[in-house]
């Protein structure tokens, strides 16, 4: 072999050996063993639920946390009272006006007797309910045994806020043991919703 050819062969061999020991990664791909930066997750805002606000700003039942408590200091002479509380737990302002519709239920969830009657409260009207605010109403019971009807134990009440149908109602366990009159006789009354907490 001629000297020039030998020299060229040595250069080619050295070049190929260098390529083999230092592979070039394809464009956009990091060589093996080299950490790659991962894209930071994009922050996504939690969407505000769309509430079914009534035409006059009436609250969507989903905006409300409704609870009931007894008022033992008001009981006497065959009458006693509970207080319903409506807290706006949503970020959206709304309003309540009127009297909720209340049913007494037995342990199986069946309605006991008639629905609540209506009892007006002075100073009631449209009650603005800003986010975080609470409105109130009273339930006034008479002793069912005073009506000469068959009585049944009441395990819970079903509360439907004004201007909404029963499909949106909430069921609350009773705070006290009571009985309902198993007839169409109205024996308890739903007070108007008010912004001021009732004393008692």
Residue 20 pLDDT:
45
What phi and psi, each to the nearest 5 degrees, are found at residue 5? Answer: -65, -40
Range of the domain at 126: 61-191
* Residue tagged 């956009």 (tokens): 28
* 41 within domain boundaries: no
* 136 within domain boundaries: yes
Top pLDDT among 59 and 8 is at 59
The count of structural domains within the chain is 1
* Beta strands 101-105 and 151-160, pairing class: antiparallel
Query: How far is it, in rounded angstroms, from Cα 190 to Cα 185?
Result: 15
Indicate if the pLDDT at residue 166 is higher than 80.
yes
| Model pLDDT for residues 21-76, shown as the tens digit of each residue | 444 444 444 444 444 444 455 556 556 679 999 999 999 999 999 999 999 888 77
* 102 within domain boundaries: yes
Query: What is the band of 9 on the pLDDT scale with cuts at 50, 70, 90?
Result: very low
Q: What is the DSSP string of 36-85?
A: -PPPPPPP-PPPPP-----TTSBPPGGGEEEEEEE-GGG-BTTEEEEEEE
Worst-scoring range by mean pLDDT, 105-109, 153-157, 179-183, 193-197? 193-197
* 32 within domain boundaries: no
Q: Give the CA diameter of the chain.
A: 130
* 199 within domain boundaries: no
Q: Note the Cα 116 to chain centre separation in Å.
A: 25
Cβ neighbors of 192 (< 8 A, separation 6 or more) are 98, 99, 119, 120, 121, 124, 137
* 17 within domain boundaries: no
CATH code of residue 103: 2.60.40
* 162 within domain boundaries: yes
* 20 within domain boundaries: no
Report whether 59 contacts 97 (CB < 8 A).
no
State the virtual CA torsion across 182, 187, 193, 197 in degrees, nearest 10: -110
């Amino acid at each position: 072999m001629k000297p020039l050819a030998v020299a060229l062969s040595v250069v080619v061999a050295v070049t190929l050996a260098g390529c083999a020991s230092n592979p070039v990664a394809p464009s956009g791909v990091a060589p093996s063993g080299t950490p790659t930066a991962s894209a930071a997750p994009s922050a996504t805002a939690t969407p505000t639920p769309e509430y079914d606000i009534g035409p006059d700003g009436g609250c969507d039942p989903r905006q409300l946390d409704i609870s009931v408590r007894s008022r033992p200091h008001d009981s006497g002479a065959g009458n006693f009272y509970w207080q319903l509380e409506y807290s706006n737990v949503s970020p959206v302002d709304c309003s309540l006006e009127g009297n909720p519709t209340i049913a007494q239920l037995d342990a199986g969830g069946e309605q006991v007797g008639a629905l609540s009657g209506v009892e007006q409260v002075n100073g009631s009207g449209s009650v603005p309910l800003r986010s975080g605010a609470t409105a109130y109403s009273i339930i006034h019971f008479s002793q069912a045994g005073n009506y000469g009807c068959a009585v049944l134990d009441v395990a819970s009440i079903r509360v439907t806020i004004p201007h909404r149908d029963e499909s949106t109602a909430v069921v609350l366990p009773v705070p006290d043991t009571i009985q309902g009159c198993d007839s169409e006789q109205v024996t308890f009354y739903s007070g108007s919703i008010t912004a001021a907490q009732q004393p008692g």
